[in-house]
């Protein structure tokens, strides 16, 4: 009798959730339709965004793990729907929503005596220290609102790492999270392929049509693609044959778009990641790299155009001959902005203070100028812990999917560290979300496999 009542209650609860979801969708569609009839993009997107936000809140309250998976699945596509014009936009609102939901859920988890320990616990002290030190700069910022919004966005890293360490607790969640991360590329890659077919990218000074997908710029899109390719290649030997065909197509599509972003930093990051995968897992990758390099040189001559200015230090006009020369000069200019070596000038202050309004394109320079010596020390502490934990995870990883995820963690870290020297990785929160998701997947998968095999411990 009790079982029948419980089944009935579960059915009623599911029915109620579906009815609420349908009501939200109908109301949002009506308002969005009004905006579409008036040709007002904001009037179309705002009710849709509001409905999505309400739906996410409902999902977070009922099935929190699915809420997190939904965020991971959709986050790479959200920049295309940006409707905010100032410091606060749709992605910023999502960050606030995620932090609030994560805090409530984590508090509930701490009150649960049966809750399992977090797999990502070793990463939390340096990450919390870095975000905490960054908050000190708010008192010295010329624009506390912009710095505060940037700090909240940075705080989502603490939330995502803490949450993933707890929800990835069994083989089912490992596979669902892996699928969510990889499937997040479906929309960006589809949009990128359409852009490449119709020449709808952003044209640079050399006349190259740089594909950007659903991202605001080609550079973050390229960084994202490098991570997805690294993850797919790493787990390729450890999945069933039918999934290998899917991953092969996936890697080719992502690789083609990465080439068409013409982002040299991401090319180097992927090369570093693939070299690490070749060393740790399969040396046949080196042969694939050689064949791919020869094929691209023959079939995509525009790559040579993108690389041709690397030997040019100065143009006829006196401007820097290439972006690397420009970076060296700009880093000196950014370092001159430092007025408080201990805690820095505040997050996002480089763009707000420098007349060019250009980010530093170097995370070490940015961290030192905006968060001072204290922030730089916490940042380096986090980098060291990431290396130690990633290598330790790889060494402990048993054969199988956990091994592939551990290799992906080390390779992704190598590429991200390389990229952070010439790009703005630390402010591209969408990139860091997926990077930490890969790291959390590896740590959780290895911890679970070792827990299931007492002899290995």
The answer to whether 350 touches 316, Cβ cutoff 8 Å, is no
- Cβ neighbours around 244 below 10 Å, total: 14
Residue 63 phi/psi, 5-degree rounding, is: -135, 85
Report the distance separating Cα 89 and Cα 92, nearest Å: 5
Torsion on CA atoms 254, 259, 260, 264, rounded to nearest 10: 120
Please report which helix (H) or strand (E) contains residue 253, including its range: helix 241-261
Residue 218 to residues 42, 76, 84, 222, 424, Cα–Cα distance (Å)? 24, 13, 20, 6, 13
Give 255's Cβ-side CA count (13 Å radius): 21
Please report which helix (H) or strand (E) contains residue 268, including its range: helix 264-280
Residue 38, classed as helix, strand or coil, is coil
Instruction: Kindly give, in sequence order, each residue whose CB lies less than 8 Å from that of residue 372, ignoring residues fewer than 6 positions away.
Output: 133, 136, 137, 338, 340, 341, 342, 343, 344
Report the distance separating Cα 443 and Cα 77, nearest Å: 26
Structure tokens at 141: 């910022």
Report the distance separating Cα 136 and Cα 391, nearest Å: 32
Report the distance separating Cα 425 and Cα 224, nearest Å: 10
Residue 79 phi/psi, 5-degree rounding, is: -65, -25
pLDDT attached to residue 109: 83
Residue 202, classed as helix, strand or coil, is strand
Question: How is 167-183 classified by DSSP, letter by letter?
Answer: H--SHHHHHHHHHHHHH
pLDDT attached to residue 209: 78
Residue 314's beta-bridge partner residues? 320
Report the distance separating Cα 84 and Cα 137, nearest Å: 25
Quote the Cα angle for 423-163-366, to 5°: 20
The answer to whether 402 touches 446, Cβ cutoff 8 Å, is yes
pLDDT attached to residue 81: 61
What distance separates the 2 farthest-apart alpha carbons in the chain?
Answer: 87
Structure tokens at 83: 């409707």
pLDDT attached to residue 20: 46
Please report which helix (H) or strand (E) contains residue 210, including its range: strand 209-210
The pLDDT profile of the chain, 457 residues, written as one tens digit per residue, is 455 555 555 544 554 554 444 444 433 333 334 443 444 444 445 555 566 667 777 777 788 899 999 999 988 988 766 654 444 466 767 778 888 888 888 888 877 666 677 889 999 999 999 999 999 888 888 888 888 888 988 889 999 999 999 999 889 999 999 999 999 999 999 999 999 888 766 656 556 778 998 998 899 999 999 999 999 999 999 999 899 999 999 999 999 999 999 888 999 999 999 999 999 998 999 998 899 888 888 877 777 666 655 555 555 444 555 577 778 888 888 888 888 888 889 898 888 887 777 888 899 999 999 999 999 999 999 999 999 999 999 999 998 999 999 999 999 999 999 999 988 899 888 899 999 999 999 999 998 866 665 544 4
- Would you give the end-to-end CA distance of the chain in angstroms? 44
Q: Which residues of 3-34 are buried (b: 16+ CB within 10 A; e: fewer)?
A: eeeeeeeeeeeeeeeeeeeeebeeebeebbee
pLDDT attached to residue 310: 55
Domain ranges of the chain: 1-62, 63-312+339-452
Length, in residues, of the chain: 457
C-alpha 384, offset from chain centre: 20
Question: How is 290-342 classified by DSSP, letter by letter?
Answer: HHHHHHHHHH-THHHHHHGGGG--B-TTSSBSSHHHHHHHHHHHHHTT---TT
Report the distance separating Cα 219 and Cα 268, nearest Å: 13
pLDDT attached to residue 312: 54
Report the distance separating Cα 441 and Cα 40, nearest Å: 41
Report the distance separating Cα 322 and Cα 206, nearest Å: 11
């Amino acid at each position: 009798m009790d079982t029948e009542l419980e089944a009935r209650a579960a059915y009623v609860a599911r029915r109620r959730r579906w009815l609420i979801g349908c009501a939200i969708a109908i109301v949002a569609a009506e308002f969005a339709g009004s905006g579409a009839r008036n040709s007002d993009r904001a009037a179309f997107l705002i009710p849709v965004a509001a409905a999505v936000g309400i739906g996410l809140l409902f999902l977070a309250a009922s099935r929190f793990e699915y809420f997190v998976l939904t965020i991971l699945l959709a986050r790479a596509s959200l920049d295309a729907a940006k409707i905010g014009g100032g410091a606060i936009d749709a992605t910023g609102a999502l960050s606030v929503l995620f932090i609030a939901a994560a805090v409530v859920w984590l508090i509930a988890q701490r009150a649960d005596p049966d809750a399992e320990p977090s797999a990502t616990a070793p990463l939390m002290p340096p990450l919390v220290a870095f975000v905490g030190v960054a908050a000190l700069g708010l008192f010295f910022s010329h624009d506390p609102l912009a710095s505060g919004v940037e700090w909240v966005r940075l705080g989502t890293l603490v939330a995502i790492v803490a949450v993933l360490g707890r929800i990835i607790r069994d083989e089912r969640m490992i596979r669902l999270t892996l699928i969510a991360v990889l499937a997040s590329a479906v929309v960006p890659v589809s949009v990128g392929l359409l852009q490449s077919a119709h020449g709808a990218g952003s044209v640079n000074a050399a006349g190259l049509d740089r594909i950007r997908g659903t991202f605001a710029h080609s550079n973050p899109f390229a960084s994202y693609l490098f991570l997805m390719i690294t993850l797919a290649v790493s787990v390729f030997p450890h999945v069933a044959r039918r999934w290998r065909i899917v991953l092969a197509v996936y890697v080719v599509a992502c690789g083609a778009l990465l080439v068409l972003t013409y982002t040299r930093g991401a090319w180097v990051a992927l090369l570093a990641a693939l070299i690490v995968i070749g060393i740790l897992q399969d040396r046949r990758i080196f042969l694939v790299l050689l064949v791919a390099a020869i094929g691209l040189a023959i079939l995509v001559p525009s790559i040579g155009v993108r690389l041709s200015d690397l030997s040019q230090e100065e143009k006829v006009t006196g401007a820097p001959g290439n972006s690397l020369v420009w970076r060296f000069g700009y880093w000196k200019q950014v370092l001159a902005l430092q007025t408080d070596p201990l805690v820095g000038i505040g997050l996002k202050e480089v763009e707000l203070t420098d007349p060019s309004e250009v980010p530093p394109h170097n995370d070490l320079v940015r961290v030192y100028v905006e968060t001072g010596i204290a922030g730089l020390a916490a940042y380096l502490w986090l980098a060291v812990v990431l290396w130690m934990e990633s290598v330790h995870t790889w060494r402990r990883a048993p054969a199988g999917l956990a091994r592939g995820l551990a290799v992906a963690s080390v390779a992704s870290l190598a590429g991200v560290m390389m990229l952070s020297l010439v790009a703005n990785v630390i402010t591209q929160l969408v990139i860091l979300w997926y990077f930490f998701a890969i790291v959390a997947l590896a740590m959780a998968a290895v911890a679970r496999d070792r827990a299931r095999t007492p002899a290995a411990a």
